[in-house]
Amino acid sequence: MENNITFKDIKKSNYSAIYHLIYQNGKLSKQEIANLLHLSLPTVTQNLVRLEQEGLIEKSGQFESSVGRRAAAYAICPQARISIGVEIQKSTVQLLAIDLLGKAFQQKRLSLGYANEDYYYKKLSQEVLAFIDALQVKEEQVLGIGFAVQGLTSNDGKKITYGKILISTGLDIEVFSQHLPYRCMFLHDAKCAATTELWVRNDMDDAVYLSIGPHLGGAIIIDRQIYMGKEGHSGTVEHMTVNPNGPPCYCGKKGCMETYSSVHALLTEDESLESFFEQLRNNSPVYVARWNEFLNYLAISINNIHLVLNREFILGGHITSYLREEDINILHEKVNEKTAFPSNDPFIYISRSPENGVLLGAGIPFIQSFLNTI
């Protein structure tokens, strides 16, 4: 077989390997890079100069040395490129600026009621532009803007393929991109949260992610990728039927998992998660009973899904910060009571992603794409 690797390919490979090595290690000296990659010092020097000229890395202090000159420490420039996450909700919008390390460095919350009207899309676009302008970055530094929505999106992020909670089915990303000089994408909010979970965890290859917020959302993770399926609705466990005679769901059917395992299903009108869990932790009999019923229905659904996908489950969303290990232990017990295959091995875990996981997950795909091109 003919070897088609060229000198240009080798140079690109060295350039990429050096950047990613620094990215993964935080700070490295020239000699450390040469040793770890088995490259000559002139080759390393040439690539470091290029990366520094392109603004992707910088000298960041010096390493301690007991003999001779102290070696310069090289680190990436986190804000050499950034992305923007935008979460659209009924009466508010949240904006987040994310650097190449996937870390948030600026955030803003707007009181802006959603309307499927041109004025809304133009107004929000103007707010996004003002937010970016305040960051004092060049246009070419912005990789893209991800709009996290309560709805299913096409695999390319250009359309809303199913929207019954807020944003309408069929909406095109052009409503924003016509006002913004950046790449724009729609992303399902639950899948954004799952993307962040993957970003912060290196020990998870396959899992079912459940985002338990005001509404329920789900995502299937296979080989560290969000599995969208042929038509983009894989993971939408919120519309799995738990009880065909149950409460009506916004999808038009009855007894969906959404109607039993979302925050709306747990709380009464005008009740907050904080007040509910305060009463629960004080062992109020009424709240203990409600929580037990909630966990019981959640266990039914988890068991059904687990029988099809024998994988770990991650519980995320608004409920995450209120969960304790004792809740997960009870949930495991309830699943074991219902399954044909009880197990002592735990498989349900509390999410490790930060509170702004949806916003981070809306921007991370642009960061990942950029890193993949280096």
pLDDT of residue 198: 94
- Tokens, residue 313: 């489950």
Task: Quickly list DSSP for 75-86.
Answer: EE-GGGSEEEEE
Nearest to 105 by CA among 344, 372, 367, 370: 367
How high is the pLDDT of residue 1?
39
For residue 107, count other CB atoms closer than 10 A to its CB: 14
175-232 pLDDT, tens digit each: 999 999 999 999 999 999 999 999 999 888 999 999 999 999 999 999 999 998 887 7
Indicate the pTM of the whole model: 0.88
**Rounded distance between C-alpha atoms, residue 177 and residue 183, angstroms:** 7
Note whether 220 and 252 are within 8 A (CB): no
Residue pLDDT, tens place only, 340-366: 999 889 999 999 988 889 999 999 999
Domain 80-193+357-373: give its CATH superfamily: ATPase, nucleotide binding domain (3.30.420.40)
Domain 203-350, CATH number (from 3.40.50.2020, 3.30.420.40, 3.60.15.10, 3.40.720.10): 3.30.420.40
Tokens of 364: 């991370």
**How large is the angle between the packed helices 273-281 and 285-308, nearest 10 degrees?**
110
Neighbours of 223 (CB within 10 A): 7
Q: Is the dihedral of CA 132, 134, 138, 139 positive or negative?
A: positive
**Nearest alpha carbon to residue 226 among 217, 237, 235, 238:** 235
What are the residue boundaries of the structural domains of the chain, listed by start? 7-76, 80-193+357-373, 203-350
In whole angstroms, how far apart are CA 350 and each of 161, 230, 265? 30, 29, 20
Residue ranges of the chain with pLDDT lower than 50?
1-2
Reading the block at residue 291, the tokens are: 């929580």
Residue 162 β-bridge partners: 152
Phi first, then psi: what are they for 260, rounded to 5°? -120, -25
For 59-69, b/e burial (b = at least 16 CB within 10 A) is eeeeeeeeeee
Tokens 């009506």 sit at which residue?
A: 248
Residue (of 137, 356, 116, 318) closest to 214 by Cα position: 318
Structure tokens, 198: 């993957």
- Where residue 290 falls (left for φ over 0; alpha for ψ -120 to 50; beta otherwise) is alpha
Is 203-350 the same fold as 80-193+357-373?
A: yes
Strand order in the sheet with 216-222: 225-227, 216-222, 207-212, 312-316, 348-350
- Quote the distance between the C-alpha of residue 216 and its chain's center: 15
Classified by CATH at the fold level, domain 7-76 comes out as Arc Repressor Mutant, subunit A (1.10.10)
